[in-house]
Structure 1
Amino acid sequence: MCFEAWNGNQDLAIKQIQMGFKLIQAWREEEVDETDERRFVGLESAMSDTVEDELVRVFKRLDVQAISFTSETTPERHALVLSGERALLDRMPQVFTSARDAATYANALVRQTMRFFSEQIPLPIPPPPQIYFPMHGWWGVRIPHVVAIQQRIMTDVLRWKAADAPFWRQINMEAQDQAEDHSEDYFLASVSRMHIQILWIGLITICMDNESDFDQYFDVFRDVVDLAEYALEVQNAKSKTPKFTFDSLVVIPLYMVTFKCRDPTIRRKAVRLLLDNPRREGVWDSVLGGKMGEWAMTIEEEFMEDGKVPEWARIHWVALERDKEQRNAMLSCEQRAGPYSKEVVMRRKIITW
């Protein structure tokens, strides 16, 4: 799986992730007792160094990677995020007392949300070998039970933000104290905050009717990009060489900023961070994400008026068709033909990375 993801074969990497879930599910059904089950979903300490614990943690992180690249849903993929995780979120404290606590609940919210996206949001499937990136096809959803789930998760996200606010202030003050090293906690808290901020953007995306509605969230996008920049500085201080990790760190958040934020300064910074810091996070490639975002920015800003991308020029239905041998891809999207036309035109470009 690492080899396929590193070499850009996302399709096979995703299939191997799904196979891993099937194997873990079979093992859990035969071997795992109630205490271990509670630990795996986060209701009890997950700090064990056993191989089994580490495998479960890895595949829980890969869950986000697999869903973000495909709308297909299988029971195995979500076997680790059922009732136990809901119970964990119900126990969220009013104020976090450690970066690890904040991260535990943030990760649970991310997995709950990605499972919701995969199982509940209707999305057409393009003809192979094209793939849609699900977030580009979500808008205007009015299905009552889907909206109800969205609202419940958003309530949990607001609870997380309320619990994190005093802790975030405290850890920022502690970070100024040169006498003690708080760098590890500050890094973990920063990443959790970044993921929750972009998670909120993903949740509001599904019910929005107009792409212009994202313009009220420039402060959120700026926070995400600044936190991603800090996270990359920490990573690059250890090694500047291209990196591979199972974790979703900065690529998905920055990718979403490049498509949903139309502030030119914030958007360009997100693109630059992706392109200047080559890395693979699971099945996500930062250079591919950066080039896709740069393409979207270019075709939308062709029609910029007074520094703003007009609503009609904002794109939908981004599709990717990869040529693994040539290491390039055909990008396509829909864009209205003009401000007074309902006609939709296809915009296409071949990119290499």
Structure 2
Amino acid sequence: MDPIPKNPRKRAKHTRSRLGCRVCRIRRIRCDNTHPTCLKCSSTGRKCEWYLGDSTSLCIIQRSPSNALSDDALENRFLDFFRQNTLYHLSGSCEIDFWTRIVLQVSEREPCVRYGLVALGSLHEAFQDEHFSDSRLFPHETQFGQYAWMYYIRAIELLNTHILVEGWNGVEVALLCCILCVGFEWLRGCYGVAEGHLQSGLTILNQWLEGKGPESGYVSYSSARADFMLSQIAPVFSRLALRARTFIATPVPCTALLVSEHRFPPVPALKDARDELYGILGQSCMNGTSYRSSTYPTWSATKETKQSQLLNLLSEWYDTRSMVFSSTNPDSVSLLISYTMIVIMVGTSLSTDQMQFDRYEDQFGLIVHLADILSSLNNSHSASVPIELVPILYYVALKCRHPLARRRAVSLISACGRRESPWDSDATARIVREVIAIEEEGVALVVEPSDVMPFARVNRLWVWTNLDNRKSDLKCRRQGDQHWTESRVVTW
């Protein structure tokens, strides 16, 4: 037997890295040292913690001298308004970390993002004044509205410079600015321009996902930046695209991130549950077209199969995530509203027959009831509502023909008294009232949904809204009719 060596070989000594947040060091993974929250923690929903006296705490902010707070008191005022008000109108509960931490963090080192936030805050405050003051000026005519436009132009100029200098190496900043531009144009009421920004952002995202960008400066899929784009930026674009489908004429293409297979883990988490739910909805509008757009009869079986698969996915999602609904907090209520809406949308996607919506009378009633609860919470200021109620109630009021439910939906829209992305509550309520009048014209009393005849139901609706002049032009096409009605002008 060989003798045991007197000095067994030992592992070489090394100094443990002092870089990285406490969480990443415990997990023994490489930290990107982004402050105040590193990308590894933010992308996985962990609370990022740093050791006291960490010398890297200002490493990113110090990279650019423009990151310091501006000396302009007005800029700081609007940025503060964005932090305290606007971001909560832009985000649902699933995006709250994105807006409250990530976007604000990036704005500290990227001037184009900062000016985008300042512009949004200024415009939002202008609309708040328009709703709650006696001024007869339109938002764009106010001093705050003019400031908003000035800051917006500045943000665009800085973004163009950023793209010229950084190229694909700065793609995540460009995508963040696209999101801000969409929000600004939606709030301004310029839906066509907003659609252009959204299309541009989706095109960039698709090119990166498909590996069509140039190799020089290209963000590798294995990098932390790629993880940030996939886990934070891409889902926001998915929701913007799905949201845009409710009010613009041109279909918005869905990106590759929407068509991944779903495997639901047994442990429910609210953010994961919501992301999965929106992913299922994304599958329902793949390729930028709706099911009914095809004129080929041979596709019917495929469409029916796909609908069945989506409904099964929704059922599986509900079964595995049912624990989320045991709570009555606003986030859980909002998620149940979203789920119920998606079930209706998928279940009615194969036909344009408006009578099919009568089968979902109970679901519509549930949505209105839950929206009433959220609206009460919002009015009491006891909690912020983590969902956009106006577009949901708009859909209910148009598709539900039960007289009490749809009128309650209109009342809740009016009570919102605010802008929600592209939605103006006053304009939306007025448009829906006009549609109800069109459908119920000539009927002495509507008691049940069946009292609204099939030929009277609006199948297609075209609306052009001028928020500055507070008027909308609308035309509709009734079920079975091939011609649009004469244009109607409604004011509010």
Per the TM superposition, whether the score is higher than 0.5 is: yes
Q: Which amino acid aligns with 2:268?
A: T
Q: Which amino acid aligns with 1:193?
A: L
1:65 is aligned to 2:204: no
1:213 is aligned to 2:356: yes
Offset at 1:171?
A: 4.7
Q: Which amino acid aligns with 1:66?
A: A
1:101 is aligned to 2:275: no
Which one of the candidate residues 413, 417, 429 is aligned to 1:278?
417
Which one of the candidate residues 77, 86, 91 is aligned to 2:259?
86
Alignment of 1:16-95 (within 5 A): 16-26=197-207, 29=213, 30-34=218-222, 46=231, 53=232, 55-73=233-251, 77-79=253-255, 82=256, 84-89=257-262, 91-93=263-265
Higher RCO (CA-CA < 8 Å; seq separation 6+)? 1
Distance, in Å, in 2 between the alignment partners of 1:342 and 1:9 is 30
CA contact (8 A) 2:292 2:351 kept: no
Q: Which amino acid aligns with 2:374?
A: A
Unaligned runs of 5+ in 1: 47-52, 124-140, 176-182
Normalised by the length of structure 1, the TM-score is 0.71
Structure 1 runs of 4+ off > 6 angstroms? 341-345
CA contact (8 A) 2:439 2:456 kept: yes
Distance, in Å, in 2 between the alignment partners of 1:73 and 1:208 is 18
Distance, in Å, in 1 between the alignment partners of 2:467 and 2:285 is 27
1:230 is aligned to 2:373: yes
Distance, in Å, in 2 between the alignment partners of 1:120 and 1:275 is 33
Q: Which amino acid aligns with 2:310?
A: D
Distance, in Å, in 2 between the alignment partners of 1:12 and 1:343 is 30
In the alignment, which residue of structure 2 is the partner of 1:319? 462
Distance, in Å, in 2 between the alignment partners of 1:150 and 1:71 is 25
Change in Cα spacing, 1:347 to 1:197, as seen in structure 2 (3 Å) is farther
Deviates most, 282-291 or 264-273 = 282-291
1:329 is aligned to 2:472: yes
Offset at 1:40?
A: 5.3
For 2:234, what is the secondary structure of its paired residue?
helix
Deviations 1:271-296 (A, max 9, x none): 11111103333323333322222111
1:159 is aligned to 2:313: yes
Which one of the candidate residues 172, 175, 191 is aligned to 1:10?
191
The alignment's C-alpha RMSD in Å is: 3.5
Offset at 1:154?
A: 4.3
Distance, in Å, in 2 between the alignment partners of 1:230 and 1:153 is 31
Q: Which amino acid aligns with 1:92?
A: F
Deviates most, 273-282 or 343-352 = 343-352
In the alignment, which residue of structure 1 is the partner of 2:436? 297
In the alignment, which residue of structure 1 is the partner of 2:426? 287
Distance, in Å, in 2 between the alignment partners of 1:34 and 1:88 is 20
1:188 is aligned to 2:357: no
Offset at 1:347?
A: 5.3
Offset at 1:252?
A: 2.5
Offset at 1:225?
A: 1.5
CA contact (8 A) 1:291 1:351 kept: yes
Distance, in Å, in 2 between the alignment partners of 1:301 and 1:96 is 48
Normalised by the length of structure 2, the TM-score is 0.52
Change in Cα spacing, 1:142 to 1:22, as seen in structure 2 (3 Å) is closer
In the alignment, which residue of structure 1 is the partner of 2:403? 264
Change in Cα spacing, 1:281 to 1:57, as seen in structure 2 (3 Å) is farther
CA contact (8 A) 1:303 1:309 kept: no
Residues paired across the two proteins, number: 299
CA contact (8 A) 2:191 2:422 kept: yes
Deviations 1:23-81 (A, max 9, x none): 4445554314157667755xxxx4xxxxxx3x43432221123333334346xx433xx
Distance, in Å, in 1 between the alignment partners of 2:401 and 2:290 is 29
Q: Which amino acid aligns with 1:22?
A: T
Distance, in Å, in 2 between the alignment partners of 1:222 and 1:172 is 18
CA contact (8 A) 2:474 2:488 kept: yes
For 2:488, what is the secondary structure of its paired residue?
strand
CA contact (8 A) 2:310 2:346 kept: no
For 1:87, what is the secondary structure of its paired residue?
coil
Distance, in Å, in 1 between the alignment partners of 2:281 and 2:397 is 20
For 1:334, what is the secondary structure of its paired residue?
strand
CA contact (8 A) 1:303 1:313 kept: no
Distance, in Å, in 1 between the alignment partners of 2:314 and 2:482 is 42
Name the structure where strand makes up a greater proportion of residues: 1
Change in Cα spacing, 1:88 to 1:100, as seen in structure 2 (3 Å) is farther
Alignment of 1:141-160 (within 5 A): 143-145=297-299, 148-149=302-303, 151-160=305-314
The structure number with the bigger radius of gyration is 2
Offset at 1:268?
A: 0.6
